[in-house]
Structure 1
Amino acid sequence: MAAKWDIFALSERMMAMDDAAWARHANPLSVYSRMSILPLMTLAVYSRVWLGWGALLPVALVVLWTWWNPRAFAPPRSTNSWAAHCTFGERVFLNRKAVPIPDHHRRWAIALGVVSGVGMMPWIWGLWQLDPGMTLLGLSLMIGGKLWFVDRMAWLYQDMKDAHPDYAAWAR
């Protein structure tokens, strides 16, 4: 039985991604700088050791950066980049109910989401216990899973760019 909720779509709704935000997020600066979020959140949470409750400020700033990042940069002049294709693939994946995608892409995306999700457990434990080894294990799984996921999304876009007129229109 298929799940009645979709963590990927929930994430998009929480980020309030519209066409303008997606266009800006296709900028490689947005894609690459987004990789800073988990290390910055790790540092922000660890800062409780020396900032106490004041660590809530850096945590809040990282949350703000997470939301603002896809909006922080201008749309790219050209979308002929791996980074742009990654964001396009994410949009294709999120639209998979309206325009079906090849099953192998769906399975890999879900599996890599699980890898990242599993990484949250040692990461959270490491943050709670101030255990650098567990924190790094969790970070490695989460970031590794996410990077592999976005690489798969570039591949998905390449396979699907001609499947729907909207997909082709994103390229310039």
Structure 2
Amino acid sequence: MTLEKRIAKIFKLDGESWMKHTNPWSIWTRFTTLPFIILAVWSRVWIGWYCLIPIAILVVWIIINPTLFKKPKSIDNWGAEAVLGERYWAERKTFPVPKHHSTPILILTVLQTIGGIVLIIGLWKLEINLTIMGSITAYMAKMWFLDRMVWIFKEMKTHKQHSI
């Protein structure tokens, strides 16, 4: 089982849930959560341990978000195609994705991880510059990663290799 498939299980993404997650409301409300998480963690300066309340709420939000919204009437948009590309990528052991995507996705995953580590260090040390740099790096790598997922979706759909 791929790491992405394990992550999908955590978020309860299966057949119908993947389609619900293609709803633009699901995609963009989840995607924009990071600044709120940063603010919640940073709020420990002002509210101490009470910062765990908004952090917990945001973690729950991230977990349940993909299943909250209805399946959209159309998946003809960038966000939905990115989600469906992620689904293909998560299922690549069952439905092989063309190999030329592997290296760029690995690089983008490493960049997201580096951005996340820098972000965590910035939050831990309350260093605004590290926090901003980590956020920007993580977000930019994630957007590029999602764009790659759109490419995967379109390529798999065009070649009608498999439908998942």
TM-score under structure 1 normalisation?
Answer: 0.89
Counterpart in 1 of 2:37? 41
Q: Partners of 2:47 and 2:2 in 1: how far apart?
A: 37
1:145 matched to 2:145? The reply is no
Indicate conservation of the 8 Å contact 2:2/2:90, yes or no. Answer: no
Q: Partners of 1:34 and 1:72 in 2: how far apart?
A: 11
Counterpart in 2 of 1:62? 58
Map 1:49-88 onto structure 2 (within 5 A).
Answer: 49-88=45-84
Q: CA shift at 1:7, angstroms?
A: 3.1
1:100 matched to 2:93? The reply is no
Which digits, 9 at most, give the CA deviation of each residue in 1:85-129, with x for residues without a partner?
111100000111112111121221121111000111211111011
Q: Classify the secondary structure of the residue corresponding to 2:72.
A: coil
Counterpart in 1 of 2:163? 165
Q: Which moved more, 1:29-38 or 1:77-86?
A: 29-38
Q: CA shift at 1:153, angstroms?
A: 0.4
Choose which of 27, 38, 52 in structure 2 pairs with 1:31.
Answer: 27
Q: Partners of 1:148 and 1:49 in 2: how far apart?
A: 33
Q: Classify the secondary structure of the residue corresponding to 2:92.
A: coil
Q: Any unmatched runs of 5+ in structure 2?
A: none
Q: Partners of 2:29 and 2:39 in 1: how far apart?
A: 16
Q: Classify the secondary structure of the residue corresponding to 1:165.
A: coil
Map 1:111-126 onto structure 2 (within 5 A).
Answer: 111-126=107-122
Q: CA shift at 1:63, angstroms?
A: 0.0
Choose which of 103, 127, 139 in structure 2 pairs with 1:131.
Answer: 127
Indicate conservation of the 8 Å contact 2:5/2:91, yes or no. Answer: no
Q: CA shift at 1:71, angstroms?
A: 1.6
Q: Any unmatched runs of 5+ in structure 1?
A: 167-172
Counterpart in 2 of 1:89? 85
Which digits, 9 at most, give the CA deviation of each residue in 1:117-170, with x for residues without a partner?
01112111110111111001111111111111111101100000111133xxxx
